Structure formats: structure tokens, C-alpha cells
Structure 1
Amino acid sequence: MAVTGLPEQDVAQVRSWCDQRVPERVRDQVRVECEEAPRHLTVVERRPPWSPQVGPDWTNLPVARLRYTKASGTWTLYYRDRNLRFRRYDLVPPTVDVGDLLDEIARDPTGIFWG
């Protein structure tokens, strides 16, 4: 287990998946990254400042959240709604294989993750 209590191998898998989402040649324009918290991982899309007035910080848009339940060893997928709250994505059940949820985010059959 990682310091946060999340399985290290799963965290590494999500980080690797994020790294592979955007080709190296355009990472100055957009990035997909993973933010780690004690019980979940959040996949975020980052973009550079579009104007000098907004400052030097990249903006981030949370795309999906992967919550881990230690007791069952399962991951559950969440999407962000229009009110900026995360809601359970019910088209895939909780799973022990975080890769199944990453596949669903990439596939995005409803357009809820990537638009």
C-alpha cells in the first residue's frame, strides 16, 4: 500500500495511463495527470494559461474520480456533474481491476468524461 493507503501498483497504473493519453509533442498545450488523495485518485486535464492576465498557473479540469474501498479492495468510478460534484458512474460496477475503469474513461460511451 502507498502512503495514502491506495494500492501502489494501481496508482502506478493510473499514472502511466494518464501519461500515455497525450503525445509528448503537445504536452506544452495539454496534459492528463493523476491527483492522489487518501482514498481516491482524480484524473485531471491541465491546460496552460490562455492569457498573461490569468497568471502562470495551468488550469485543471477534473475528468473522473476513482475511489478505492479498502475493505473490499474495489475501485468505483465517478464523473463530475454540472454542479462540479462527483457522482457515481453506474454503467460499470465497482471492480478490483482499476484498468477496467480506465478503459471506460477512455471509451467514454456517454461523452460524460471528455465531452
Structure 2
Amino acid sequence: MSAVPELQLRQIARWCDRRVPNQLRDQVRVEYRLRGRSITIVECRPPFMPELGPDWTETRVAQLRYTPPPPDGGEWTLHWSDSHNRWHPAPDVPAASGPGPLLTTIETNPHGIFWT
């Protein structure tokens, strides 16, 4: 199983880091979770009721999936999560050779499925 290319993983990390200004990071953060070749973008918020615990809540925003075709390069696809936490391909979003165009789609959210 081919891993996600490090350069592209760093690109995703930088994109997440730029989503929230430093002065607001005590209120909201955008992070990613890597599992195999799937990268889930999450929005993190501090505890609503601190007396229930110190853990931040996470809301799944989108998922990028990497498929490495032989012999070179790879293909990225974008997915959205429904209310039952099932992932579906983003409508009208073609696969890309890198995560950049898909991150732009998340940011512009043309179908209103990524940010609440």
C-alpha cells in the first residue's frame, strides 16, 4: 500500500493551518486526520461545557482520498459526510492529480456541503 506523498500531506497541513487566524485558535481550529490513504478535514471547537471534560469536539468537514495508480503519480478524490457519517463522492468534482484543487473546492463550497 502506497502512503500519501509527504509533500502533498504538508500542503494539506498548511491549508488547514491557514483557515483560522492565530488569535482565534482558542475558539476554533481546522485540522486533519490521516488514516491510511484517507485524510479527513475536521473543524475543532473547545468544550461547550468544560465540566463535562476538556476534550474539544470535532466536526467532519470533508475527506480527501489518495489512490496511487502505477507507475507514477496518483489521483485524489473529494468526499462529503452525510448525517449518518457515511462518505459520498462530492458531486461534479473530478479527481485531481494533487489535493490543491480539491482544497479549493472545500473552501469555496459550491454545493454547500462542507462548512456548516
Q: Which residue of 2 aligns with 1:36?
A: 34
Give the drift of 1:9.
0.7
2 CA distance for matches of 1:47 and 1:16?
19
Equivalents in 1 of 2:86, 2:52: separation in Å? 24
For 2:55 and 2:102, the matched residues in 1 are separated by: 29
Count of aligned pairs between the two proteins: 112
Cα distance between partner residues in 2 of 1:54 and 1:103: 36
Structure 2: gaps of 5 or more residues? none
The residue number in structure 2 matching 1:86 is 87
The 3-state SS of whatever aligns with 2:51 is: helix
* 2-structure distance, mates of 1:112, 1:99: 18
- Measure, in 2, the Cα distance between the counterparts of 1:61 and 1:52: 18
Measure, in 2, the Cα distance between the counterparts of 1:54 and 1:112: 30
Aligned to 1:66: 64
Aligned equivalent of 2:101: 100
The amino acid that maps onto 1:96 is S
* Pairwise CA distance, 1:70: 1.1
Q: Normalising by the residue count of structure 2, what TM-score does the alignment of the two structures yield?
A: 0.92
Q: Secondary structure at the match of 2:112?
A: coil
**Rounded Cα–Cα distance in structure 2 between residues aligned with 1:81 and 1:103:** 20
Superposition misfits of 4+ residues, deviation over 6 angstroms: none
| Helix, strand or coil at the partner of 2:14 | helix
Give the Å deviation of 1:92. 1.1
SS at match of 1:103: helix
Task: Show the counterpart of 2:3.
Answer: 5
Q: Distance in 1 between matches of 2:80 and 2:102?
A: 11
Q: Which residue of 1 aligns with 2:113?
A: 112
Show structure 1 runs of 5+ residues with no match.
none
- CA displacement at 1:83 relative to structure 2: 1.2
